[in-house]
Amino acid sequence: MNLKRFSLAVAAIFVFALLWNGVVHMVLLKEANQALDQIARPMAERNMVLGLMLTAGIAILFVYSYASCARVAGIRYAVGHGTFFGLVAGLFVDLNQFLLYPIPASLAATWFAFGFLEFCIYGILVSWLYPVAAQHSTPGDAPASGTPHI
């Protein structure tokens, strides 16, 4: 396990996620998101610690799954991993928000697009900070123990 590279990749994705979501939701989509004020939990009742823990959890899961599954070095595979995560997250989060709450389809689609791009950028970050070529002797090798090789 390369704990240093793993931790660095998790930290980079965590910080990027906070900055990305701050810009997207508090600047670019601020007006659109204000339409949700009537149905959203008031700002004073939102749990910041839980939000940070969720963001850290996503960062850890993303890097762990990449480290566990990636057998081919390169940005292309890493962006593909980000694409998969982006699609899963978008379907579970954004489509469900649209189904559950009276929000415009265009807002859900915009959230989906920004989230999809966010996870693709995670892929770029993880390919740079946790290169699989340094973890495996050959691209097709699997860990001898049967456990994820991180």
Structure confidence at residue 85 (pLDDT): 94
Structure confidence at residue 135 (pLDDT): 53
Rounded (10°) CA dihedral 28, 25, 56, 75 = -30
Structure confidence at residue 133 (pLDDT): 64
Structure confidence at residue 148 (pLDDT): 52
Burial environment of residue 64 by CB neighbours within 10 A (0 to 12, 13 to 18, 19 or more): middle
Structure confidence at residue 146 (pLDDT): 47
pTM equals 0.82
> Which residues of the chain fall below pLDDT 70?
1, 133-150
Domain residue spans in the chain?
A: 3-39+52-134
